[in-house]
Structure 1
């Protein structure tokens, strides 16, 4: 099976914009057989730098999952009340306006490709609650409005980020998974279109400071019948080029080729397997994939592609090991 790749996190364009460098990168990405599509970052328009460039460089077979987290974090830097769960009316309206722009970007991409290429859009329950209050009630109101819009067939999904758990310093500090599941369960009971939860391994582990936290979050979403996706991104409490307790998308630790992974990542091959087993049957997930960063930041395009290929192979190998697991109810 193929995977969605959060390729933007591994781009050589770590600052500024070099169209030729990115074109070389996209040509290489198109040759990665395990990639069925991209997790595409939304920051306010279809492409952060150049819509026309983006549309010209897409592999024809790719599908897309939009993620709003880069745009959300940019907005929070200047408007702390921004967010779909915000108790600040102006901040919540700004987040809804942002989502309306995302809807237009989805329409533009689908129209260019002549098909429903965007399968899902992942949204987030900002604001950071250590700065401005967020609530399940406000998130419910936002979701009801979002579900009234035409999303061109793309599923709305909530990607859980680390919750605000004082005195722990958060990376995102959004709503708790239990609050998110409660809102989505209520929407489901009301007969709304299905909205599920995507678990990001690294962000759940960042929250719990324990790899077991990712498994617990997967199980909670399954128990609620709301597990819609699983994205692999590593994290570690050990200082390294990726930073200690940073949402910097550490690669999977690679036992066979340590240089093609992160030696201190808590995301090991065994942890990948355990998460896939907990989420099974993963064939029912609408989002399954990998998002990693690359260090050093001076790595060439070729070095980045080699690392991505090795990481995708780990995911493929671990999925093959659990492919015989019997289907389990609980995914949407």
Structure 2
């Protein structure tokens, strides 16, 4: 099987943009046989540093999964009312303008490659409700607006992020998975165009575990989406309950725990090979979007060691 890789999280340019180093990194990624393509961060333009660099360095055969998390978090740092689920109308419109730019970036990438290269775009239900108001009403309005745009065949998928939980500091604090499901079901029921793909949903392993404080939480969220026929994908991103350099219960994309076969890993990660296999098994039929996103500590780790983390994690998934 082949997998999406959130390569931006593992990039050797964690301490500053170096196009030559990043080019070498992409060349190493191209050597991995089980990489389907990139989970690509959208921050407001096709590439956060250089669109032309990106177009010249990507593998023309890769598929792409856009993620709006980096752009959302940047915007929320400036305006806590930002988000497609925001009850603040100005914040919601700002988020829709951001999403319109994402639609344009997808068109640019597809145009460069001469094909439909973007399989889906992950959207998130900001704002952080510990700082601003968000609701299913606002989310429904935003989704109905976005479904009117030409996404070039890319599916809109809500990536569930941790929600507010009593006595917990949220990593994201977005809508509950139940609220997201209810809106997606409502919106999908109104789609009349047979060419329009219904909105789907994706589980991010680490974010579900952060929310529930339990590795079983990821499986529970998978099952909930399956029950509602909305499971479009599963992204593996780890977390720890220990105070390591990845920080306890933080959304730092911790690599999986090492074992005899998985050498490049992170001690104290709750995301073990066994847990990854259990989540894949919970999916039943493996969804078309499966991938990994690994942050690396220390940030000074050499490039080839970073690639080894990706390689070993993908090989662990292959052993399922």
CA distance in 2, matches of 1:154, 1:197: 13
Alignment equivalent of 2:215, drawn from 208, 211, 214: 211
Separation (CA, whole Å) in 1 of partners of 2:33 and 2:261: 20
Whole-Å separation in 1 of the counterparts to 2:149 and 2:15? 35
Distance between the aligned counterparts of 1:15 and 1:307, measured in 2? 18
Per the alignment, residue 230 of structure 1 pairs with 234
> In structure 2, what is the equivalent of residue 127 of structure 1?
127
Counterparts of 1:257 and 1:76, CA distance in 2: 40
Q: How does 1:261-272 map to 2 (within 5 A)?
A: 261-272=265-276
| Contact preservation (8 Å) 2:262, 2:312 | no
Structure 1 match to 2:303? 301
Tell me the equivalent position of 1:169: 169
Structure 1 counterpart SS, 2:122? strand
- CA offset at residue 16 of structure 1? 2.2
List aligned pairs for 1:53-72, cutoff 5 A.
53-72=53-72
The separation in 2 between residues aligned to 1:246 and 1:259, in whole angstroms, is: 23
Match of 1:310 in 2: 312
Report the Cα distance in structure 1 between the residues aligned to 2:110 and 2:61, rounded to whole angstroms.
Answer: 13
Matched, 1:74 2:74: yes
**Displacement of 1:162 after TM fit?**
0.2
Partner of 2:37: 37
CA distance in 2, matches of 1:293, 1:186: 35
| Larger displacement relative to structure 2 (71-80 or 252-261) | 252-261
- For residue 270 of structure 1, give the secondary structure of its aligned residue in structure 2: helix
Query: Shift of residue 167 of structure 1?
Result: 2.3
The two structures, once aligned, show a CA RMSD in angstroms of: 1.0
- Shift of residue 257, structure 1, vs aligned partner: 5.0
Cα distance per residue 1:220-276 (max 9 Å; x no partner): 000001000000011111011211111000111121156511110111111111100
Q: 1:15: Cα distance to partner?
A: 2.8
Q: Give the match for residue 291 of structure 1.
A: 293
1:199 Cα shift? Answer: 0.1
Name whichever of 139-148 and 257-266 sits farther off. 257-266
For residues 16-40 of structure 1, the C-alpha deviation after alignment (integer angstroms, 9 at most, x for no partner) is 2110110010000111111010000
Ranges in structure 1 where 5+ consecutive residues have no aligned partner: 319-332
State the match for 1:274 in structure 2.
Answer: 278
CA distance in 1, matches of 2:300, 2:310: 16
Aligned to 1:145: 145
Residues in 1 aligned to 2:34 and 2:152: alpha-carbon distance in whole angstroms: 26
1:154 aligns to 2:154 (yes or no): yes
Change (3 A) 1:166 1:295: same
What's the TM-score, normalizing by structure 1?
Answer: 0.94
Q: SS of the counterpart of 1:295? A: coil
Task: Using the TM superposition, name which of 253-262 and 137-146 deviates more.
Answer: 253-262
Rounded to whole Å, the distance in 2 between the matches of 1:205 and 1:164 is 13
The equivalent of 1:107 in structure 2 is 107
Q: Structure 2 CA distance, aligned partners of 1:191 and 1:52? A: 36
SS of corresponding position for 1:218 = helix
1:60 Cα shift?
A: 1.7
Matched, 1:248 2:236: no
Shift of 1:190: 2.0
- Give the secondary structure class of the aligned counterpart of 1:260: coil
Instruction: Give the 4+ runs in structure 1 shifted more than 3 A.
Output: none
Give a deviation string over 1:260-317, Cα, whole Å, max 9, x none: 11110111111111100001201xx231111111122111111111121111100111
